[in-house]
Amino acid sequence: VFTHFRKAVESRGAICPALAAPSRLRPLPPSADGFDNGAIPSFADLKVEPPVPDARAVLPFQGGESAGLERVKSWIWDQDCLRSYKETRNGMVGGDYSSKFSSWLAFGCLSPRLVYQEIKRYETERVANESTYWLVFELLWRDYFRFAAATHGNKIFFLGGPQVPDSVVNLCAQHPLLLNCSYAQGQTGYPFIDANMRELRATGFMSNRGRQNVASFLVRDMGQDWRLGAEWFEEQLLDYDPCSNWGNWTYAAGVGADPREDRYFNIVKQGKTYDPTAEHARLWCPEVSHLAPALLLDTPARGLTASDSSGVCYPPPIVPLKFSAYKGSSSNARPVGRAGDHREFRQGTTGAHPPNASAHGRGEGRTARGGVRDKIKQERRGARRNRVQNDYMGGDA
């Protein structure tokens, strides 16, 4: 459990200093068969199309240690962004609402020890506050997922996660469908979700707040195998690393080493809270940008009149929200992701719909009046309780 890990590290752990750069390197081995030591193949050599930069990207993300060190210097010291990080970290537009060190950390261009040292130096020379602690807190989550992966091995890839080791299900037959489905393409009918998924596909980055919501939407609202999302992130993210990615997805699905089975995000409420003017949604979903923010962040298909719908191509919602409230209402229901709770992933749809009252013997399929409303309240309380436990799913560390 992360809390036990964190308390142990904070009370007894000592962070080793980053290693100094070597003064010299051993010579490279001699070339063999005309091989050019140190040569980096071009996109043409690899027979792949070069990526096309998107002007809407939060950062250009230049690779290498020099670029990573420059980002640390700029974000922590020159712009003094660390001072207010706790207040800005849930932003979604712009380059500096969060550190975005994760890509350089994932590729080994930055050392987490060096980042920790810079935070501690900042606390000594400028200020120690909740923001400085919070960035260390996220480095702790990064370490925790590495220890969890080392402990559980390939169980982090199982449908039931480390808790259900016999729940292996092959994804190969389903995976190609994900590439063209509404979820991956950002065509779910919910701009808060679609904007984040389009940003990921176009730039390789998604904010921490976005990652939490799209994970919840796939697992709780669409009722899908969480590993489809984890594999899509693996293919798309610039900051992908197996421990953080798969560890976070097991957590989101409620099947991790530190499970929270009722972790549900109300994406409409989340959008109105964290993108209140719909700046991010308008940026990535221009086809509905003319709608008022409140309507745009709800279900924009309802806000399109007969006249403007002819010129706007935006899909209706592919699945009703709060699907998890219906699904979890049965006393013997298992959380999405557990063994025996696998649904076919269809292109452009989910096949997952809330049951009606006749489907159960206890009336769990009724409207929000009664049992379902109580379930929704429980989920909201659970989400609030769990927010402090893991409010991080990537983008910084």
Q: Is 86 annotated as a binding residue?
A: no
Q: Is 190 annotated as a binding residue?
A: no
Looking at the DSSP assignment, which residues form a beta bridge with residue 346?
A: 349
CB contact at 8 A, 77 and 71: no
Q: Is 98 annotated as a binding residue?
A: yes
Region of residue 338 (left: phi > 0; alpha: psi -120 to 50; beta: else): beta
Q: Among 378, 187, 161, which Cα is nearest to 253's?
A: 161
Q: Is 341 annotated as a binding residue?
A: no
Q: Is 143 annotated as a binding residue?
A: no
DSSP 83: G
| Burial group, residue 306, by CB count within 10 angstroms (0-12, 13-18, 19+) | exposed
Amino acid at 131: S
Rounded to whole angstroms, how far apart are CA atoms 319 and 222? Answer: 6
C-alpha distances in Å from residue 280, one per residue of 171, 208, 224, 272, 277: 32, 14, 26, 11, 8
Q: Is 23 annotated as a binding residue?
A: no
Q: Is 66 annotated as a binding residue?
A: no
Q: Is 157 annotated as a binding residue?
A: no
What does the block give as tokens for 383? Answer: 């989400």
CB contact at 8 A, 377 and 84: no
Q: Is 274 annotated as a binding residue?
A: no
Residues annotated in the binding site for FAD, as ranges? Answer: 85, 98-102, 239-241
Annotated binding residues: 85, 98-102, 239-241
